[in-house]
Structures are given as structure tokens and as C-alpha cells.
């Protein structure tokens, strides 16, 4: 008889409260980057994100697991964050190569902040996407399969982690961080099409942002 896969083990769902706090930090970071890059009005995307975040919390509050409306609002929130980063990247490129009324160090710091915010945004997206969200992962992926497969979930790695191990928000943070630097999967592999698409978008945004940061740093070094 075939043993049940490790990721099918049921566990307690991960709390969403720390993630909501992280979402607020991301919104604040995006507002700072937009203001630094002279995006007008700089509060537009942060306002839309805040409204979607509050709406998703209101719909989810009091439930054991999010319904379709809460899931739709969460993904809309993630989508707005990604679009906001892409818009800031366009302004960063314009500022570096076409000139902007910002001193070179200010542009460099804005680029670094944008890269850091991008890592955090895709952490949220991966966390919300994988297997249908934290509640579905805790329930043993009843209605689906993992979008990302971590080493601890693979049959040949059994015994190297607790039998009930499940990825947490911090595992997705590491996944997003390494993907933004290596521009490729590292320890966790994307298995679904949507996971591959999301990771591909992160690679493109991270590569472009880091390339612009390097260009700005070279210009500063040459005076």
C-alpha cells in the first residue's frame, strides 16, 4: 500500500495576522518609493491596496477559511501590488537613463527599496497562491496539489523534517528572496503553470531593477 504524501498530513492553519502586518509595511514601502520617484499622485496605488486589504479582512473575519470573495480580493490586492512595483520600475528606469530631478544617491536608495518591496510582494503572492492558501495547505490540499514543492515535502527527504511540516510565510520569504537574486528556482520548485508564471514575473522585475541599480551605482562611481 502506497504511503500518503507528506503534504497530505493535516495541521493547524497558519495565522494570517502577521501577514496582514507585512502587507501594511509593503503598502508603506510602496508609498515611499512612489513619492521618492515623483509618481503623481503617489498615494493612488497605496490607497487602492489599502481598500482591497481592508475589504479582504472584512470578508474573511469570523470564518474558518476564506471563501471565493475573500480569495478574489486577496489576489486583486496582490495584483495591484505587482502593478505598482512595475510602475515604479518604469519611473526608476526613466530617472536613471532619461534624467530625473533626484540626486544620484536618492535614485540608488529608491531602487534598493523597490527591490526589497518586490521581494516582499511576491512573498505574499506565493503564500496566498500555494495549494489554495494557508487553510487549504493545513487541510492537506483536499481540493488540489501544491504549486510549490519544498524539499521537506519530497519522499526522498522524509525523516529530515517533522512529518507534519508545512511551509510558512517565512519559507515563502526565503523562496522569493532567492528567486529575486538567482533569477531561477532554488530549493522549492514551481509545479503549476500559475506558479511558474508568477515566478517568471518576479525574475523579470528583479532582473530589471537590479540592472538599473547597478547602472546607477556605476554612474555614481564615475562621478
Would you write out the chain's pLDDT as a tens digit for each of its 223 residues? 455 667 777 888 888 888 999 999 999 999 999 998 888 899 999 999 999 999 998 887 766 677 788 889 999 999 999 999 999 999 888 877 776 666 777 778 888 999 999 999 999 999 999 988 888 888 877 667 889 989 888 777 777 777 788 899 999 999 999 999 987 777 889 999 999 999 999 999 999 998 888 776 666 655 5
**Strand blocks (E) in the chain:** 148-149, 189-190
In the Cβ-directed half-sphere of 57, how many Cα atoms lie within 13 Å? 15
Cα–Cα distance for residue pair 140/138, rounded to 1 Å: 5
Residue 31 is placed in which grid cell? 508609498
Cα–Cα distance for residue pair 98/15, rounded to 1 Å: 45
Cα–Cα distance for residue pair 122/172, rounded to 1 Å: 8
Q: How far is CA 31 from CA 34, 103, 186, 194, 208, in A?
A: 5, 19, 31, 28, 20
| Under 8 Å between Cβ of 120 and 26 | yes
Residue 194 is placed in which grid cell? 500559475
Amino acid at each position: 500500500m502506497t504511503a500518503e504524501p507528506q503534504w497530505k498530513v493535516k495541521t493547524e492553519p497558519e495565522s494570517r495576522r502577521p501577514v496582514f502586518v507585512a502587507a501594511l509595511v509593503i503598502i508603506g514601502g510602496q508609498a515611499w518609493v512612489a513619492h521618492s520617484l515623483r509618481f503623481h499622485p503617489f498615494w493612488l496605488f497605496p490607497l487602492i491596496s489599502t481598500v482591497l486589504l481592508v475589504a479582504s479582512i472584512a470578508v474573511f473575519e469570523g470564518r474558518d477559511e476564506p471563501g471565493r470573495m475573500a480569495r478574489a480580493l486577496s489576489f486583486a490586492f496582490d495584483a495591484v501590488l505587482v502593478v505598482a512595483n512595475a510602475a515604479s520600475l518604469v519611473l526608476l528606469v526613466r530617472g536613471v537613463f532619461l534624467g530625473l530631478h533626484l540626486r544620484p544617491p536618492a535614485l540608488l536608495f529608491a531602487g534598493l527599496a523597490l527591490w526589497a518591496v518586490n521581494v516582499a510582494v511576491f512573498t505574499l503572492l506565493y503564500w496566498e497562491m500555494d495549494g489554495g492558501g494557508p487553510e487549504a495547505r493545513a487541510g492537506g490540499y483536499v481540493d488540489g496539489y501544491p504549486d510549490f514543492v519544498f524539499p521537506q515535502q519530497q519522499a526522498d527527504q522524509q525523516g529530515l523534517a517533522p512529518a507534519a511540516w508545512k511551509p510558512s510565510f517565512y519559507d515563502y520569504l526565503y523562496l522569493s528572496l532567492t528567486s529575486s537574486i538567482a533569477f531561477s528556482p532554488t530549493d522549492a520548485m514551481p509545479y503549476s503553470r500559475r506558479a511558474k508564471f508568477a515566478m517568471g514575473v518576479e525574475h523579470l522585475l528583479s532582473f530589471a531593477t537590479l540592472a538599473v541599480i547597478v547602472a546607477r551605482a556605476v554612474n555614481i562611481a564615475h562621478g
